[in-house]
Chains A and B, each alone.
Chain A
Amino acid sequence: MSTLVAGPMSVVKNIARQGNRYVPVLATAVLFVIMYGIGMTRYPAFGHPQVFVNLLIDNAFLLVLAVGMTFVILTGGIDLSVGAVLAVSTVISAWLVTVHQWPPLAAMALILLGGTGFGAAMGAVIHYFEIQPFIVTLAGMFLARGLSYVISTDSITITDPTYTRLAQQRIHLGSEVFVSASMLVALAVIAAAFVVLHYTRLGRTVYALGGNEQSALMMGLPVARTKIAAYAISGGCSALGGILFTFYTLSGWSLHAVGMELDAIAAVVIGGTLLSGGSGFVLGTVLGVLTLGVIQTIISFQGTLSSWWTKIVIGALLLVFIVLQRALGGRARS
């Protein structure tokens, strides 16, 4: 009898608890749909499928960056160096390909390796010397930006034919819609991150680490390896983001992507990932990036609205989602 009563009750409680995890992501999804709807009703051209595809094409580098950031934030850390690593990647690839005539693929491989190694080094310093992620990645940011200035203070244009062909590649889906190579790369990264986070041991350890590092350590999980891996993934994603950014602008410049780490963090938070770590979804991050993209698209369609409104709206959204997370987290605890 008691089990009959307790059963449904615990099921309801369970749904409520389970639902809690999804509320921020659902809120973001609803927000995205509403904003897209507003755009469609105000501007007839907004409804064209290419506008939606362009959201992915124009934000491919930010998607990749934010996916890497999701790993770090899930472990309870933060990576402020992503924008700078992206910039230094564009500078190095442009410099190698244009000035030193490297084959593009070799340059890309070197950059990916370098970015991953840089991230791993920051992760190792954070873990072994117990310095806050905030300050280590801040130093990483200075280091990467400084390095890109040392290589070149001017913008380097990429003229390599293979590179430009790869960058300007258009794959047509039907008669009216086309996608770019960088968008396909971004989608592949998202898929890989989804699989890693939800179906592998590394992914489970990332969540466990963010939930409670002490418990993870006591459970015998490989804390050091996982934490370093998370920063290495973020570094690798930033380097890849840099390569995608060169596809987008065909240039390397030390001032590319100033402040983009904030966009990436904002996308992760708006996507429902807890900044204290341990809870969140990579698909939520994708929704977060798309939401930022829609804001930008509406503002550019509007024409009269200026870019500073983007910052103000992003700030307001950040506030709403952080307070929402706080409220939900508070209720779950009590």
Chain B
Amino acid sequence: MSSGVTALLRHRLFWPAMALVVLLAVDAVHTPGFLAVRVQDGHLYGSLIDILRYGAPLVLVSVGMTLVIAARGIDLSVGAVVAISGALACLHIEGLTDQNAVTGVLVAVVLAFAVAAALGLWNGILVSRFRIQPIVATLILMVAGRGLAQLLTEGQIITVDSDPYRVIGGGFLLGLPVPVLIAAAITVLMVLLLRRTALGLLLESVGGNAEASRLAGVRAGGLIVAAYVVCACCAAIAGLMSSSNVSAADSNNAGLWIELDAILAVVIGGTALTGGRFHLGGTVLGALVIQTLTTTIYTIGVAPETTLLFKALVVIAVCLVQSPAFRAKVFRKRPPDQRKPLADTGGEVLAEATRKSVSR
């Protein structure tokens, strides 16, 4: 059983990893020196570092989204939360007498976090207490949230000039970009928290069957609310990073469509949208695949707008491969020669059968 699960895991991560390798290979062939990483002023620079740096917000949002999806939910409001947190932080910093004051920036960050946590709590309570479908419950905040962000900034782009704030999105520490370090730290923290304790298992049991786990003594409601709060907080960090990177809050465009990219990253990473099982490593890989895809399209010189077309094809392909019905209909439709290799490669067929029964 456990070897079956690890085989499955390897299988799940294999294709996203392959996609990443192929994309990077295309880049390397097209632009010699693409993979080179150079040191300048003690900082690491290069296209690979750029992918990590610009991909950090998406990685964070996707990691948060993974938790929500593991609990059989979905959070459409992360884009709005990204916009709100960036707007709040920039508004507070803009109002400071000394924009370079570290305490002022810290207050701005805490403020953004507190509001994001409240928004996550709101989503979680709608889902777990009022039992509203997650898509619908978070749709409310998706629609109204961006309006709130625009209300905060009155539709303007709020620019700030604060060195401490710029560190969050553009700074370097130990030669590495700060956003990459933040994203990595939070991902590692999540993995430790969820995989080294029973928390991840409980979350999966809630996602598998919330009612059954409640009857078994798991506090399903609390876990669901916590997942939404963590997801909103991840989105808040992403919002801080994005606005800090350009030293401005743009409520109209910040985090636009990031919820869809995050869901896509989660799906590419092998987490089923039906909940009950999650792979944080896969999600990070999925987010990097999306970011690399975007970078590749820019590098090759195809119109950037066609990214959407590629993303659509990726979504369709990944979902079809994940769908048990598709696999049953397409891969089992070869009756004559499927019998033969059964005797020859018994091991493989057995592994395939195990994989199917596990995935069901």
> What residues of chain A have their CB less than 8 Å away from a CB belonging to chain B?
78, 125, 128-132, 134-136, 138-143, 145-147, 149-150, 153, 254, 262, 265-266, 269, 275-276, 306-312, 314-316, 318-319, 322-323, 326
Picked from A78, A136, A147, A315, the residue with its CB within 8 Å of the CB of B143 is A315
Chain A residues closer than 8 Å to B118, beta-carbon distance: none
Picked from B139, B274, B309, the residue with its CB within 8 Å of the CB of A142 is B309
Picked from A134, A150, A306, A326, the residue with its CB within 8 Å of the CB of B131 is A326
Picked from B142, B145, B312, B324, the residue with its CB within 8 Å of the CB of A146 is B312
Contact indicator per residue, chain B 235-269, by CB within 8 Å of chain A (1) or not (0) = 00000000000000000000000001001000100
Q: Decide if B320 touches A131 in the complex (CB within 8 Å).
A: yes
Q: Decide if A312 touches B305 in the complex (CB within 8 Å).
A: no
Q: Decide if A139 touches B315 in the complex (CB within 8 Å).
A: yes
Q: 20 other contacts beyond A146-B310, A306-B154, A312-B147, with CB at 8 A cut-off?
A: A130-B323, A131-B319, A132-B273, A134-B273, A135-B319, A143-B308, A149-B305, A149-B306, A153-B303, A265-B139, A266-B143, A306-B155, A308-B150, A311-B143, A311-B147, A312-B148, A315-B147, A318-B140, A318-B144, A323-B132
Highest count of chain A CB atoms <10 Å: which of B145, B263, B312? B312
23 A-B Cβ contacts within 8 A? A125-B320, A128-B325, A129-B323, A131-B323, A131-B326, A135-B273, A135-B319, A138-B315, A139-B312, A141-B312, A146-B306, A146-B309, A149-B306, A153-B303, A153-B305, A265-B139, A269-B136, A275-B136, A308-B148, A308-B151, A309-B151, A315-B140, A318-B143
Chain A residues closer than 8 Å to B140, beta-carbon distance: 315, 318-319, 322
How long is the Cα–Cα vector from A271 to B226 in the complex, in angstroms? 32
Chain A residues closer than 8 Å to B173, beta-carbon distance: none
Q: Decide if B305 touches A146 in the complex (CB within 8 Å).
A: yes
> What residues of chain B have their CB less than 8 Å away from a CB belonging to chain A?
74, 130-133, 135-137, 139-148, 150-151, 154-155, 260, 263, 267, 273-274, 303, 305-313, 315-316, 319-320, 323-326, 329
Q: Decide if B325 touches A129 in the complex (CB within 8 Å).
A: yes
Q: Decide if A276 touches B133 in the complex (CB within 8 Å).
A: yes
Picked from A125, A131, A142, A308, the residue with its CB within 8 Å of the CB of B311 is A142
Label chain B's interface by main secondary structure: helix
Q: Decide if B144 touches A315 in the complex (CB within 8 Å).
A: yes
Chain A residues closer than 8 Å to B144, beta-carbon distance: 311-312, 314-316, 318
Q: How far is the CB of B289 from chain A (nearest CB, A)?
A: 15
Q: How far is the CB of B242 from chain A (nearest CB, A)?
A: 19
Q: How far is the CB of B142 from chain A (nearest CB, A)?
A: 7
Q: Decide if B324 touches A130 in the complex (CB within 8 Å).
A: yes
Indicate whether A318 sits within 8 Å of B139 (C-beta atoms), given known contacts A128-B325, A153-B303, A326-B131.
Answer: yes
Indicate whether A262 sits within 8 Å of B143 (C-beta atoms), given known contacts A129-B329, A139-B312, A309-B151.
Answer: yes
Q: Decide if A135 touches B306 in the complex (CB within 8 Å).
A: no
Nearest-CB residue, chain B, relative to A149: B305
Chain A residues closer than 8 Å to B324, beta-carbon distance: 130
How long is the Cα–Cα vector from A304 to B61 in the complex, in angstroms? 35
Chain B residues closer than 8 Å to A78, beta-carbon distance: 135
Q: Decide if B154 touches A130 in the complex (CB within 8 Å).
A: no
Nearest-CB residue, chain B, relative to A276: B133
How long is the Cα–Cα vector from A319 to B138 in the complex, in angstroms? 10
Q: Decide if B147 touches A308 in the complex (CB within 8 Å).
A: yes
Q: Decide if A135 touches B329 in the complex (CB within 8 Å).
A: no
Nearest-CB residue, chain A, relative to B148: A312
Nearest-CB residue, chain A, relative to B315: A139
How long is the Cα–Cα vector from A269 to B144 in the complex, in angstroms? 15
Nearest-CB residue, chain B, relative to A269: B136
Q: Decide if B308 touches A326 in the complex (CB within 8 Å).
A: no
How long is the Cα–Cα vector from A310 to B141 in the complex, in angstroms? 13
How long is the Cα–Cα vector from A315 to B307 in the complex, in angstroms? 30
Q: How far is the CB of B71 from chain A (nearest CB, A)?
A: 16
Q: How far is the CB of A122 from chain B (nearest CB, A)?
A: 10
Chain A residues closer than 8 Å to B142, beta-carbon distance: 262
Q: How far is the CB of B263 from chain A (nearest CB, A)?
A: 7
Q: Decide if A314 touches B309 in the complex (CB within 8 Å).
A: no
